[in-house]
Structure 1
């Protein structure tokens, strides 16, 4: 081995020896601080218990009594008794009296004073307690006095148990009387003065008051039950836009039996599929949820949406889904005629195409283009929320339904670099059948376009970047009123849940 290896080995040995020596030194210090166990006197009193050493800075602790030792040859358990000195009228404090001036003395003096007090207490004529065998040898009548004391204790314990049972019974009676009558206290004012220290008497008084005619009358006053809250969201299936198939059941079926199938029955082609159930004829329809039990089921496919009308292929796929669910639920479905259902879908799609309108207004910059980062800051400050795809900000109403949208060209606010992405045109887009007509969404959108143009330096223009006058905006507003009337006549008001489903993807 070379010198480097030898030096490393030597350094390791030195460090190891240093650690061992340090641990030994710490252990010796810890053992020095542990007090040594002192011998115990024959009377069972530790003469030095609680007395600190001369070099101990801890607060002084009073001497303590250790449990009396029972001789090894004694196989019978005997209760301790008081000696003649105590019976003659001496107290425990007198038996263990220690001069209070001794506590102010040095630790050695306090230790001697404690030992003298222990020796004084160890003498038979001044001892407070003694073992049972010593008492028997000293006095033949000690066993008699011990038996009498034990009998007295047992009698006192039995009396205490009896009083405790009586108090429990009284409390139960009071609770029952209070639960049976709300107006007991009003019918019997004298109960307010009943002494609470006598529970049995209180129970009798309450029972007497509850038996009065006034209390009985107050007890039968009916309490109006709160109205039952709806158990869940309103039903989704609507015959105006859905092809509904009933699934009559012979027996009640649990939702856990259906849910593994319903999670795979979301769509038939491009059309949404919904499954609902209810417990009886008077219960509302609800989507299949965990823990539910249903006596009736129904399944529906949407007749049309913005992807087009329901076609023959989608209807066949829906029929297969219905049959699969019917087999699992032991139901006998009655499927509608395919030709009639497809014709309904086409007619509904034609009506939706006539009412499907999207209007837009733009804000054109008066000077330099805006950065996407700046547009995002303005939209966020105005309370608009970014959509999931990151392409637009959405203005929501009080029910969290969309009113209009804000777009900044083809900017994706989630993926694009907003610092370098810019443009000079901000577009406000209104989906007419989706927004609630009661909010006058077109006027709201135009007012917001004017506001944002004044704040960031722009003007309101149309898609050809021509300024929009107030007369042109009023003309568009009148045409919207006709569109709203057409939707109302069909039973599909703008902004309603069923209309939003019809004009969805």
Structure 2
């Protein structure tokens, strides 16, 4: 081996050693940085969001006395919390309010189903600021309603974009974020975002914001959603042809309208009471919707009567009316009444459905959420 080769080998070894040393120093520096980054605990937002599996999930009906008592206890404790004096966590300087907000309660804000915040200012909040507040109503995944105490100091009124054109001049505000609807409970993240928005707005208008605890509100939302899932039942009576033939759209429409149904834009007939509340509906057993444009040429092998149990008051009476009409339609169309498995419905089967309906609506009444009430209509939508 020549001297040149030996020198080149030595130079190569030196270069490799230098690179290895440089990499080792970089690795040590990286480890020190990582260690410093984890010296303090940080809350994992994703883990926090994943604490529950209730959202967007419905369970089969089951009536549990434990969950009934739990929800009633939580509803009562919630009502007590709403009566407490505001904590005024965001108190601006030199704020002076002569009389407490709690003395004016001419409207029921329904603390059972809402997360309720309050804002108190020492001067009128401008309509421009209120308009900005209302523009954020749809940012939290559930319905939001804002109420203001009227200038006479006696009545609360809902604030909308339309009402701001003729009214305004509020000092006291209440913001209500609904905890549950048929999509599930409000998320803890959206509860926090709503609270933060209320507090930020209060700062902007030099007011005091009172926002209840988020964790307790979320627990209430999950419990309420569990109860709603237990009573969220839609009962149906299907009518199919006895001989496998088809029903003609024109005949279905004539029968429905003569019975008092109205064909509506959602693709079904609706039967409404004198207050325009939907009692039950009539739709196509097949996928094609009932629309004014296609009823003349439509044929189908079945129709379906649907009764939305939690949304209808006096359910027992209304169900009897629907079952009676279903029997008339079945006879006129030469059909047979069946359940969703195409098993013929006997009088005993209809009676069992009726008894289940009575039990469900009695459970709702025991929880102070009567079927067909304003509260029920908000929850089951």
Given the two structures, how large is their TM-score scaled by the length of structure 2? 0.65
> Post-superposition shift, 1:460?
1.9
Matched, 1:429 2:306: yes
Describe how 1:385-400 pairs up with structure 2 within 5 A.
Answer: 385-389=262-266, 391-400=267-276
Q: Residue 255 of structure 2 aligns with which residue?
A: 378
Q: Residue 499 of structure 1 aligns with which residue?
A: 376
Matched, 1:311 2:187: yes
CA gap of 1:268–1:344, structure 2 versus 1, over 3 A, is: farther
Structure number having the greater strand percentage: 2
Contact kept, 8 Å, 1:372 with 1:411, in 2: the verdict is: no
Q: 1:240 aligns with which of 96, 101, 112?
A: 112
Q: Residue 321 of structure 1 aligns with which residue?
A: 197
Q: 1:444 aligns with which of 321, 326, 348?
A: 321
Q: Residue 249 of structure 1 aligns with which residue?
A: 121
Contact kept, 8 Å, 1:268 with 1:315, in 2: the verdict is: no
Contact kept, 8 Å, 1:407 with 1:427, in 2: the verdict is: yes
Counterpart Cα distance in 1 of 2:183 and 2:140: 10
Matched, 1:403 2:279: yes
Q: Residue 360 of structure 1 aligns with which residue?
A: 236
Q: Residue 13 of structure 2 aligns with which residue?
A: none
> Post-superposition shift, 1:394?
1.4
> Post-superposition shift, 1:388?
3.3
Q: Map Cα deviations across residues 361-382 of structure 1 (whole Å, 9 max, x no partner).
A: 1112234311334323432333
Q: Map Cα deviations across residues 137-192 of structure 1 (whole Å, 9 max, x no partner).
A: xxxxxxxxxxxxxxxxxxxxxxxxxxxxxxxxxxxxxxxxxxxxxxxxxxxxxxxx
Counterpart Cα distance in 2 of 1:329 and 1:378: 59
Runs of 4+ in 1 over 4 A off after TM superposition: none
Q: 1:457 aligns with which of 303, 320, 334?
A: 334
CA gap of 1:466–1:301, structure 2 versus 1, over 3 A, is: same
CA gap of 1:384–1:236, structure 2 versus 1, over 3 A, is: farther
Counterpart Cα distance in 2 of 1:499 and 1:405: 18
Q: Residue 283 of structure 1 aligns with which residue?
A: 154
Q: Mark the structure with the bigger radius of gyration.
A: 1
Matched length: 269
CA gap of 1:328–1:449, structure 2 versus 1, over 3 A, is: farther
CA gap of 1:414–1:478, structure 2 versus 1, over 3 A, is: closer
Contact kept, 8 Å, 2:119 with 2:202, in 1: the verdict is: yes
Counterpart Cα distance in 1 of 2:108 and 2:367: 18
CA gap of 1:282–1:489, structure 2 versus 1, over 3 A, is: farther
Q: Please state whether the residue corresponding to 1:363 is helix, strand or coil.
A: strand
Contact kept, 8 Å, 2:145 with 2:176, in 1: the verdict is: yes
**More relative contact order in 1 or in 2 (CA 8 Å, sep 6+)?**
2
Counterpart Cα distance in 2 of 1:386 and 1:266: 32
CA gap of 1:378–1:278, structure 2 versus 1, over 3 A, is: same
CA gap of 1:324–1:418, structure 2 versus 1, over 3 A, is: farther
Contact kept, 8 Å, 1:268 with 1:317, in 2: the verdict is: no
Q: Please state whether the residue corresponding to 1:267 is helix, strand or coil.
A: coil
Contact kept, 8 Å, 1:280 with 1:296, in 2: the verdict is: no
CA gap of 1:357–1:343, structure 2 versus 1, over 3 A, is: same
Given the two structures, how large is their TM-score scaled by the length of structure 1? 0.49
Q: Residue 466 of structure 1 aligns with which residue?
A: 343
